[in-house]
Structure 1
Amino acid sequence: MRKTLLSLLFTLLTFSLLHAQNKPTALAAKTAGMQKFSGYFPFYWDEATGRILLEIDKLDQPFLYVNSLAAGLGSNDIGLDRGQLGGEHVVYFQKVGPKVLLIEPNQSYRAMNGNPAEEQAVAQSFAQSALWGFKVEASEGGKMLVDATEFLLRDAHDVVGSIRRARQGTYRLEPSRSALYLPRTKNFPQNSEFEATLTFTGGDDAGNFVRSVTPSAQAITVRQHHSFIQLPDTNYTPRAMDPRAGYFGIEYMDFSTPVDESITKRYIARHRLQKKNPSAAVSEAVKPIVYYVDHAAPEPIRTALLDGARWWAQAFAAGGYKDAFKVEILPVDADPMDVRYNVIQWVHRSTRGWSYGASVTDPRTGEIIKGHVSLGSLRVRQDFLIAEGLLAPYEEGKPANPEMMKMALARLRQLSAHELGHTLGIMHNYAASVNNRASVMDYPHPTVKLSASGEIDLSDAYAVGIGEWDKLAVTYGYQHYTTSTDEKKALDQLLRKGHAQGLQFISDRDARSPGGAHPQAHLWDNGANAAEELRHVLAVRQKALDRFGVNNIKPGVPMAMLEDALVPIYNYHRYQVEAAAKVVGGVNYTYASRGDGQLVTEVVPEAEQQKALDALLGTLQPNVLALPERIIAAIPPRPAGWSLTRELFDKRTGLTFDPLAAAEASADFTLSFLFHPERAARLVELKARGSKLGLDEVLDQTISQTWGANPAPGLPGQVQLLTQQLVLTHLLALAQNENAAYPARAAAQLQLKNLEQQAKKLAKSSNEAVKGNALLALERLKKPLEAKPQLHKTLPPGAPIGSIEMLGCE
């Protein structure tokens, strides 16, 4: 009996052991039958329920989370482009009871001295963010399984908010029409990639921007991408930011900083690049920087993008590297959202718009992990259109001029280099155009020349190759110094040397304001002297207008399409107007540091200011603004099926072409710069400091050359009269602008009184048009502080030439 019991117990024990060995683990049981994706964070796809279960095996370990838009909306005005990156988030998973929280620490406030108590004090003083909470589905041996589906199917990129802010409709995420997108959900050793198809419904109040790019405005379906990325190791050394060097970067407050030092720390954004032999003047890199051009770009565009991007190899060579920068074609099976690839992506939209260079950057150090360029495909067509307008190339019986395509591709090369420069960490440099085109990081207007015979020459429209400033910038950011070198001193000497060679750096804030003061900080300008270049640009414009006609469009194209070609030519001088305006009341300066020998501030000489003012007032003359009858008569209303677009002149005449509205918009453009309240205040201040050209003088000359000019006959006369009313509008606006300086408002008020007396004299004229114009002015002057300025017609969109800035874009 005893033997029988022992035998039975042995049998039961053996069975239990075998059963325990065959029993699946908790994670295995929960994921049975699911497709496993091994990699950085293992995850499982449950086909039956449409879920992704994420295996968390790295608790409390920081990693990088990035969301992006894999498939976009296609509207430049709303944004939401294919390949658009979201922000970077350093996060970690934290287990709290039955939950796992995704925590983002606050990177803006730190204690960097290694003292745990100080680190804890800072961490507890500022909020952190719990981005998500996951319920633990199963756990074993330090590993947890959570359902990540809702996290991945949320509107992480804020599509709803972007559409709402653009006032294009009210939408909401519709879960029943959203699902995970498996073709772009992948796993790799250092990054886990997830993608979701999201549908947003609503749209009863959808705007035209949405309606123009969706099959049905009631349902917008895009794809959003999520990346979990292993953070770089600690072998990267951040490089201090210098305002003279022209880099983007990171900044944070370090509360462990000694009181006699700046608490704000700033470091540049750059890729990790190290020489194999740091002591050698020229060395190969430990790991080259490689970019990939989207294979979706067609030829000859793809080759142009490759050529332009490869220009940066010149800059790295100048910085002491051999074969450290390369550009190749993106492999067909590669995912452009994969963090392992620096990409130049070809993006389509319904209208032309900005291109931009973005990066995935480690917020802790400024190290760039991935560069991502987005190039708008319609930009090349705008340059081609400008060339068509300049050359009138479609003469009967002759082949089209090949210079148009050459110019458009030359611009694409420059654009490719420009946007890639941003992904290297480099800012815009708007002072380069006055300094022998020293940087691809400027916004270039085509440099069009007139030959000795007076013909238009596009052969040097855009520069070729990297500029001297770009070489200096790359050397500053990427030079690898030995441990025995005083890096701070070496970098300072590098910048001083560049300054001594005449290289300048001025970026966005100084260039983009219409009331800006810097005489060399302009977008889309050319030439060392803004006034002289404005006169040259007007001469090129006049040459193009003299030959403008049927040869500007192809045979068989509706004649109404002449207007499309006319717009960029009629407004060809618009950017140089802005450049010349900044000379008036201008103050030159640099981002000088104490003791570096750079210019601090210097008022632009009066003679230069007057020269610019003369050139600007020249743009208000009837012979510049009035179009000839032969051009006006050649442009009929658009035929049925050819819609009006915002690229055309605004009109007051209904469907027919309106030459007066075109002149109104152009004159208003010039006056908006001259009468800008910031410029007006500066002119008052500079005269008080001793300048002879103040606001009074600028207003006097403007009124003299408009209201004081002899009446012209015909259409030029009507242009002259409307320009006079525009001047009055701007005077009225300045006088009652509560944001303008009191002395500027007072000067405008005095000019209004003087203009009233002049209008009373003109009201007695025998010329009915002049008399009526004067009476209208007097009516508007009865209560000048209560007068409502008329809404003027504005120029069609100009920027981007050939293409929210946003910084890092063009």
Structure 2
Amino acid sequence: MRKTLLPFFLSILMISQIWAQNKPASLASKTADMQKFSGYFPYYWDEVTGRILLEIDKLDQQFLYVNSLAAGLGSNDIGLDRGQLGGEHVVYFHKVGPKVLLIEPNQSYRAMNGNPAEEQAVAQSFAQSALWGFKVEATEGDKVLVDATEFLLRDAHDVVGNIRRSRQGTYRLDPTRSAMYLPRTKNFPQNSEFEATLTFTGGEDAGGFVRSVTPSAQATTVRQHHSFIQLPDKNYTPRAMDPRAGYFGIEYMDFSTPVDQPIIKRFIARHRLQKKNPAATTSEAVKPIVYYVDHAAPEPIRSALLEGARWWAQAFEAAGYKDAFKVEILPVDADPMDVRYNVIQWVHRSTRGWSYGATVTDPRTGEIIKGHVSLGSLRVRQDFLIAEGLLAPYGEGKPANTEMMKMALSRLRQLSAHELGHTLGIMHNYAASVTNRASVMDYPHPTVKLTASGEIDLSDAYAVGIGEWDKEAIKFGYQHFPAGTNEAQAFDQLLRESHKRGLQFISDRDARATGGAHPQAHLWDNGGNAAEELKHVLTVRQKALERFGVNNIKPGVPMAMLEDVLVPIYNYHRYQVEAAAKVVGGVNYTYASRGDGQLVTEFVPEAEQQKALDALLATLQPNVLALPEKIIAAIPPRPAGWSPTRELFDKRTGLTFDPLAAAEASADFTLSFLFHPERATRLVELKARGSKLGLNEVLNQIMEQTWESKQASGLNNQVRLLTQQLVLTHLLALSQNEEAAYSARAAALLQLNQLEKKAKKQAKSSDESVKANALLALDRIKKPQEAKPQLHKDLPPGAPIGSMGAIGCE
């Protein structure tokens, strides 16, 4: 009997030993010598090993995970700014044996009727994402302990990918030079915040953008932040999107929708705001919306940011709230990345770039949890530079001129309001400038006036206060109605009344298209009539150029720096050129809904198109493009130590200033809009539908103003000749452009045929410049496939540099 049972007992003993060895330790024993941080997800800091152990006491409960960049790279071209938010992820921890998975369900596809079977069918039809897997270190009842260190020390913000996509080098995360950043690793009842210092090594092929902002391109160190956030309760009511209202939002497919209803559901993004007294016309809020301005912003900039941001209180008052929107200074010990703070952050970069408003939004409902504005600090210097160019303020014996700083600060107020508007959920409105600057959500060019004596007046450069459209937008997003109100009808009536008052909304896609058709939707334009404003802007430009000289720079500044001030003044009309170009071949329209009475579509009257074309052709004249001799002679090559930048004119003359290159870039800018394949095709189409101004008529007038123009003298004649060659370039390119309609290409070929005949006659001229220009044209006509329009590449940047010029940016 003993011999029979002995193997059995030995087996039981071995199993017991194996089980004991693999049994998870208790939380207490595993964290005995660690510092505990209680909060939403309790965690422990192990000083000896540098680890973060996360206590998960909410298995299978959804929460919000957000990563962000707390300390950035400083290169506008690459991005990766201080304070840059990453995407939002609704996630949950799920335990499977010795593992805990961090699961992100698919929010884009849902079944919202409460039927578990339908919900399961949708969930199983589309992929979810397991963002990470953790090993269980200890257990205690329903709690598990996992080592979160590797998760927190990973490149969650994709720094490596951003640098690679910018073609600035090959990097990899170096764990030996990365560690937790404890000053910003904190815990609170509804959010847990973690921050890590990450170092990326490699960079043997580092580009100039990286090298310019790092002490050593072989070791680039930034900080990334991770937020675990309790999801909002279910007392928030999503608000349906309306294309006329101008809001960002969320959308998803609801497969439980009846077949006769739209399957795609769209809801606007907005903060939660509720009245204490819902029945009152005006009421205080249950919880006000509070924003905080970065205490790092210096004065007088900080005050300007505060003032501009506070303008939005006017809109909330119009929507029936009292003291519901506030702006304060961020406490010194507050973390800007902490989800509890809506912030306006002052961000530094090596070059001027876009500012932008971002949010942390609940992907389930559209509720904005955190607004985060990033304002580029160099923008204010560009506005100051423009004011210097317009005013020439540094004459000897003159008192200090404060108008430049006044204009720059007024722009900052507007910029602060603009970006904060995005974090309230509101899109750009690029049609607002035609109705007396009705929205801070437009891109504003300075409104510069001329006094009766012809002096430049900057006193009304930027609007003050929130616009009329902004008030209507806030009403749509945040207004609450008495019980029993049909909200859909009330919002529809609100938008109809706004339209009757002349308030329009046209946003990014329509306004940013270089071949765009909308005659009133433009970036950085002014005035109710694009053509009239272009004439005015050219007059202001001419006035500024007439007195341009040493008084545009301070005493002691190298004379070569005159070019820096000259660039924005010489190109002062660039945005109004784009605005006027959209009138030619333009089609007016709104985001109309059936039965709302708004305009659907109509093409711009021929008279308006012709007026815009006349204004555009004026920008191609030598007297506009050629700089005066006194300006050219005053700009020497830059001294040693003052390297040229991309903010200057391109040159074909080596180190010396090149006035012809400046003229060429400006003329090409105008022509690139007039010859855009979409505009050319639209002109053909509109002529076929009854318009008297078609592509042939436009091309004939361009030829008359360039190739048929009278010969000039000196620099003006050289500008005239180069403009002729640019016109030829665009004709050749259009004739070969497969994106244009055949009829548009045929019209270009007809002009080329006529030009070839003219050039053959000019090739026999006794004037060498005329003959040489004709011979070059004839040679180029033989090789149409080689035509490559510059398409603005030689025009120095006007708008902020970089690729952030999209929704939510300025």
TM range (shorter): over 0.9
The 5 A counterparts of 1:556-595 are 556-595=556-595
CA deviation after TM superposition for structure 1 residue 86, in Å: 0.2
> Is the CA contact 1:445–1:801 (under 8 Å) kept in the aligned structure 2?
no
> Is the CA contact 1:379–1:801 (under 8 Å) kept in the aligned structure 2?
no
Per-residue displacement from partner, 1:359-413 (whole Å, max 9, x unpaired)?
0000000000000000000000000000000000001122231100000000000
Give the aligned partner of residue 264 of structure 1.
264
Give the aligned partner of residue 295 of structure 2.
295
1:671 and 2:671 aligned: yes
> Is the CA contact 2:77–2:802 (under 8 Å) kept in the aligned structure 1?
no
Q: Quick one: distance in 2 between partners of 1:804 and 1:591?
A: 25
Task: Write the letter of the residue equivalent to 1:194.
Answer: F
1:507 and 2:534 aligned: no
Per-residue displacement from partner, 1:317-345 (whole Å, max 9, x unpaired)?
00000000000000001110000000000
Per-residue displacement from partner, 1:741-760 (whole Å, max 9, x unpaired)?
11111111111101111111
Give the aligned partner of residue 524 of structure 1.
524
Give the aligned partner of residue 719 of structure 1.
719
1:236 and 2:236 aligned: yes
CA deviation after TM superposition for structure 1 residue 790, in Å: 7.2
Higher deviation after alignment, 247-256 or 743-752: 743-752
Long gaps (5+) in structure 1:
1-23
Task: Write the letter of the residue equivalent to 1:721.
Answer: L
> What SS does structure 2 have at the residue aligned with 1:565?
helix
Q: Quick one: distance in 2 between partners of 1:480 and 1:194?
A: 37
Q: Quick one: distance in 1 between partners of 2:782 and 2:315?
A: 63
The 5 A counterparts of 1:180-195 are 180-195=180-195
Give the aligned partner of residue 169 of structure 1.
169
Per-residue displacement from partner, 1:513-552 (whole Å, max 9, x unpaired)?
1000000000000000000000000000000000000000
CA deviation after TM superposition for structure 1 residue 800, in Å: 3.0
Higher deviation after alignment, 733-742 or 221-230: 733-742
CA deviation after TM superposition for structure 1 residue 783, in Å: 3.7
Task: Write the letter of the residue equivalent to 1:171.
Answer: Y
Higher deviation after alignment, 798-807 or 401-410: 798-807
> What SS does structure 2 have at the residue aligned with 1:127?
coil
Per-residue displacement from partner, 1:457-502 (whole Å, max 9, x unpaired)?
0000000000000000000000112331111111101101111111
Give the aligned partner of residue 214 of structure 1.
214
Distance 1:58 1:543, change over 3 A: same
Higher deviation after alignment, 743-752 or 546-555: 743-752
The 5 A counterparts of 1:4-19 are none
CA deviation after TM superposition for structure 1 residue 736, in Å: 0.7
> What SS does structure 2 have at the residue aligned with 1:492?
helix
Give the aligned partner of residue 682 of structure 1.
682
Give the aligned partner of residue 342 of structure 1.
342
The 5 A counterparts of 1:19-34 are 26-34=26-34
Give the aligned partner of residue 609 of structure 1.
609
Q: Quick one: distance in 2 between partners of 1:640 and 1:711?
A: 40
> What SS does structure 1 have at the residue aligned with 2:534?
helix
Give the aligned partner of residue 4 of structure 1.
none
> What SS does structure 1 have at the residue aligned with 2:784?
coil
> Is the CA contact 1:236–1:367 (under 8 Å) kept in the aligned structure 2?
yes
Task: Write the letter of the residue equivalent to 1:559.
Answer: M
Q: Quick one: distance in 2 between partners of 1:425 and 1:674?
A: 35
Task: Write the letter of the residue equivalent to 2:223.
Answer: R
> Across the two proteins, how many residue pairs are aligned to each other?
787
> What SS does structure 2 have at the residue aligned with 1:32?
coil
Q: Quick one: distance in 1 between partners of 2:185 and 2:42?
A: 12
Task: Write the letter of the residue equivalent to 1:601.
Answer: T
Give the aligned partner of residue 632 of structure 1.
632
CA deviation after TM superposition for structure 1 residue 806, in Å: 2.3
1:154 and 2:154 aligned: yes
Q: Quick one: distance in 2 between partners of 1:800 and 1:489?
A: 41
CA RMSD of aligned residues (A): 1.3
Q: Quick one: distance in 2 between partners of 1:469 and 1:39?
A: 43
Q: Quick one: distance in 1 between partners of 2:226 and 2:173?
A: 17
Task: Write the letter of the residue equivalent to 2:634.
Answer: A
CA deviation after TM superposition for structure 1 residue 762, in Å: 1.6
Calculate the TM-score normalised by the size of structure 1: 0.96
Task: Write the letter of the residue equivalent to 1:610.
Answer: Q
Higher deviation after alignment, 740-749 or 717-726: 740-749
CA deviation after TM superposition for structure 1 residue 509, in Å: 0.3
Runs of 4+ in 1 over 6 A off after TM superposition: none
Give the aligned partner of residue 476 of structure 1.
476
Give the aligned partner of residue 64 of structure 1.
64
Give the aligned partner of residue 5 of structure 2.
none
CA deviation after TM superposition for structure 1 residue 624, in Å: 0.1
> Is the CA contact 2:666–2:795 (under 8 Å) kept in the aligned structure 1?
yes
CA deviation after TM superposition for structure 1 residue 353, in Å: 0.3
Distance 1:553 1:129, change over 3 A: same
Task: Write the letter of the residue equivalent to 2:753.
Answer: K
Give the aligned partner of residue 254 of structure 1.
254
Give the aligned partner of residue 435 of structure 1.
435
> What SS does structure 2 have at the residue aligned with 1:368?
strand
Q: Quick one: distance in 2 between partners of 1:469 and 1:700?
A: 41
Q: Quick one: distance in 2 between partners of 1:614 and 1:58?
A: 69
Q: Quick one: distance in 2 between partners of 1:211 and 1:68?
A: 23
Q: Quick one: distance in 2 between partners of 1:509 and 1:43?
A: 46
Q: Quick one: distance in 2 between partners of 1:439 and 1:78?
A: 30
CA deviation after TM superposition for structure 1 residue 25, in Å: 8.0
1:90 and 2:102 aligned: no
1:145 and 2:159 aligned: no
Distance 1:608 1:791, change over 3 A: closer
Give the aligned partner of residue 691 of structure 2.
691
> Is the CA contact 2:72–2:223 (under 8 Å) kept in the aligned structure 1?
yes
> Is the CA contact 1:240–1:268 (under 8 Å) kept in the aligned structure 2?
yes
> Is the CA contact 1:382–1:801 (under 8 Å) kept in the aligned structure 2?
no
> What SS does structure 1 have at the residue aligned with 2:374?
strand
Higher deviation after alignment, 398-407 or 504-513: 398-407
Q: Quick one: distance in 1 between partners of 2:203 and 2:164?
A: 11
Q: Quick one: distance in 2 between partners of 1:218 and 1:801?
A: 26
Task: Write the letter of the residue equivalent to 1:248.
Answer: F
Per-residue displacement from partner, 1:408-451 (whole Å, max 9, x unpaired)?
00000000000000000000000000110000000000000000
Q: Quick one: distance in 2 between partners of 1:156 and 1:122?
A: 28
> What SS does structure 2 have at the residue aligned with 1:372?
strand
Give the aligned partner of residue 701 of structure 2.
701
Per-residue displacement from partner, 1:625-665 (whole Å, max 9, x unpaired)?
00011000000000000011000001000100000000000
Task: Write the letter of the residue equivalent to 1:489.
Answer: Q
> Is the CA contact 1:442–1:523 (under 8 Å) kept in the aligned structure 2?
yes
Give the aligned partner of residue 17 of structure 1.
none
Per-residue displacement from partner, 1:656-687 (whole Å, max 9, x unpaired)?
00000000000000000000000000000000
CA deviation after TM superposition for structure 1 residue 802, in Å: 14
Long gaps (5+) in structure 2:
1-23
> What SS does structure 1 have at the residue aligned with 2:701?
helix
Distance 1:144 1:790, change over 3 A: closer
> Is the CA contact 1:196–1:225 (under 8 Å) kept in the aligned structure 2?
yes
> Is the CA contact 2:77–2:801 (under 8 Å) kept in the aligned structure 1?
no
1:752 and 2:752 aligned: yes
Identity across the alignment (%): 88
Q: Quick one: distance in 2 between partners of 1:248 and 1:634?
A: 49
> What SS does structure 2 have at the residue aligned with 1:738?
coil
1:652 and 2:652 aligned: yes
Q: Quick one: distance in 2 between partners of 1:803 and 1:732?
A: 30
Task: Write the letter of the residue equivalent to 2:553.
Answer: I
> Is the CA contact 1:361–1:370 (under 8 Å) kept in the aligned structure 2?
yes
> What SS does structure 2 have at the residue aligned with 1:194?
strand
Q: Quick one: distance in 2 between partners of 1:791 and 1:244?
A: 33
